[in-house]
Amino acid sequence: MKKKYSKNIYLISLFLFAFIFNFYVASKGVFPIDTFLHYDSASRILDGIIPVRDYWVVHGVTLDYFQALFFLIFGINWSSYILHSSIFNALISIATFIYFLKIGLKQEYSILLSLSFSILAYPISGTPFIDQHAIFLSLFAFYFFFFGIKNNLKYLFFVPILFGLAFFSKPVPTVYLMFLMTFSFIFYLFTSKRFYIIKLPLIGSVFFLVALYLFILSQKIDLEMFLTQLIYYPISIGGGRFSSLNVNYDKIISNYKFILLPIVFSIFLLKNSFNKFTKDIKIFNFLIFTLFSFLCIYHQLLTKNQNFIFFLIPINLAFLILFLDEKLTDKSGVKYKSLIFGILIFCLFVTFKYHFRFNVDRKFHDLQNTNLETTASAEKIHSSLSSLKWKTSNFEDPLNELAIINNVVKEVEKSDKKIILMTNHNFISSISSKKIYTISRTYDSISFPSKNNLYFNKFKSFLDDQINSKNVQQIFIFIPDSDLQFSLKRYVLEYFDPDCLEIGKSDKYLAKIDLINCELK
C-alpha cells in the first residue's frame, strides 16, 4: 500500500513538473517558422480551411488537428498553443516512468531518470513541433508494445494507431522506427510462439486505415493530392538528402557521445549474456532501444536539423543501472553504491548541460547567440499572445520588430481584395479580422516544389486552382529573415507570368503584388 502511494505521488509530481517546465520555457524567444508552425494552420481548420485541400503541406497534419482541438476547447491563444506541447511532455514523461518500473528499475531511480527525460524531451522545442511529435508518438508505440506483451495484450491494438499518427506528423524518422517495430514484433512472435497476439495489431491497423479513409472523405480531400503532398513529395526531398549524406564518425561521437556511452557500458556488462536475449525481456528491450537510438542519430544526420534526441540518455542509463543491479549482488557494498551514484551524477551533469544549451539558450530555435534578457511582450501585437516573450535573432530591439509586424497587419487589413499572405509569422491570420488565404503552411526551400522537382507541375496546377477558386487578387510577402527579392522570385515569379503581376510599392520587409488576369507559366 505504501509503495503504491509513493508511486502515485511520483506520478503526480512528475506530471506537474514536466507540464510546468515545458510551459515556462516555451514562451521565451521566437524563431517564427518553427515557433508558429501549427498556429495559423490549426485555427484555419476551425474556419473550414483544410490542409492539403486548401493549401500545400509537406507533413504535420496530425499536429494541426490536435492543435485545432486545443483551440476549440481553450480558445485561440498562445497559452492554448503551448498547453498542447506541455501536456504531451507530461504524458510521455509519465509513460517513460511507468516503462522504467515495468522493466524492473527501482522507483527512486525511475523518478530521477524520468525527471531528466522531461527536461530533455519536448522543452528543447517547447512549442508543438513535427519532429518531436513524430518521435514521441513512436516512443509511445514502443512502450505500448512492451506493456502489451508483458501485462495486457490490449495495448497492442494501439501500436499501429500511434505509428499512423506519428507518420502523419512526419514520415521520417517514423518510417525507420516502424520497420524496427515490425522486425521486433515478428522476431518476438517466432521466439515466443505467441502467434495469436498478432490479431490485435492487425485490427488496430485496419481501424486506423478505415478511420484515415473516412477522415479524407469527410474533409473532402482529393486522395491523389493527399498522397502527393504527404508521401510522394517528401520522398522526393528525402532521396536527395540521402544521396548527399556524408557520415563523419568523429562528429557522431562528438555530438552523441552521451547517448552512446551508456550503450557501450551496457554491452560490456552483457558480453556473456546475449545468447539469452530471446528469453530475457530486459536484454530484448535493451537491443530494441539501442537500435532506436541509432536510428534517431541517423535521422539527425540526414535532416541536418538541430539536435533534439538527448532524451535518449536517461533511457539508455536506465538499462545500464538495470544491468548493474543484476551483475552486482551486494547492493549495500561501496562498489555498487559508488557506481550508481556516479551514473546519477553523470545524468545530472548531461541534463544540466543540455538544459542550459537548449532550454535556457534556446539553441533549437537558433537563439543561442541572442540576448534573451531583452524581450518584449507579444501582447503589443495582440492580446491573445500576451504570455509570449518576443525576441528573435533578426532584430536587436524586439519593440522595433513588433512595430514592423503591426504595420504588416494594418496593411493586410487595409486591403479590400482577397489576398494570399506568404509569411512564416503564422499567427497573423489568427489575429486578423480579415480572411487571409495561404498557398503553403511555411515558406522555405522545401515548403513546396521548385523548378527542379518532379512535382513542380503538380504544385503549379494546385496553385492555379486555389487562386481561381478563391478569386485571389493580391499577394503579400512578409519574410523578414530572407531577402525580399529572393522571396519574390522563389515564391511568386517562379510560377506566374511576370506580365500579369503589378508589384506595388514595397518597404524593406513587405511586398504587395496585384494579380491581373494571371495565368501560370
- pLDDT, tens digit, 9 for 90 and up, residues 465-491: 999 999 999 999 999 988 888 899 999
Question: Which helix or strand (DSSP H or E) is residue 472 part of?
Answer: none
pLDDT-derived band at 516 (thresholds 50, 70, 90) equals: confident
Residue 330 confidence (pLDDT) above 80: no
Buried residues in 185-213 as b, exposed as e (16+ CB within 10 A) = beebeeeeeeeebeebbeebbeebeeeee
Residue-wise pLDDT tens digits, 27-77: 999 999 999 999 999 999 999 999 999 999 988 899 999 999 999 999 999
Choose among 366, 485, 305: nearest CA to 32. 366
Return the sign of the alpha-carbon dihedral for residues 150, 155, 160, 164: negative
Residue 280 confidence (pLDDT) above 80: no
Grid coordinates representing 19?
507540464
Buried residues in 222-258 as b, exposed as e (16+ CB within 10 A) = eeebbebbbeebbeebbeeeeeeeeeeeeebeebbeb
Taking a C-beta distance cutoff of 8 angstroms, is the pair 349, 317 a contact?
Answer: no
Round the average pLDDT of the chain to a whole number and report it: 91
Taking a C-beta distance cutoff of 8 angstroms, is the pair 71, 80 a contact?
Answer: yes
pLDDT-derived band at 244 (thresholds 50, 70, 90) equals: low
d(CA 283, CA 287): 6
pLDDT recorded at residue 393: 92
Report, as an integer, the average pLDDT of 101-122.
96
DSSP for 125-184 reads: T-S--HHHHHHHHHHHHHHHHHHHHHT-GGGGGGHHHHHHHHHTT-HHHHHHHHHHHHHH
Report, as an integer, the average pLDDT of 121-129.
96
pLDDT-derived band at 233 (thresholds 50, 70, 90) equals: very high
Residue-wise pLDDT tens digits, 431-468: 999 999 999 999 998 899 988 899 999 999 999 999 99
Asked which of 25-39, 266-280, 302-316, 395-409 is least confident by mean pLDDT, the reply is: 266-280
Residue-wise pLDDT tens digits, 141-194: 999 999 999 989 999 999 999 999 999 999 989 999 999 999 999 999 999 999
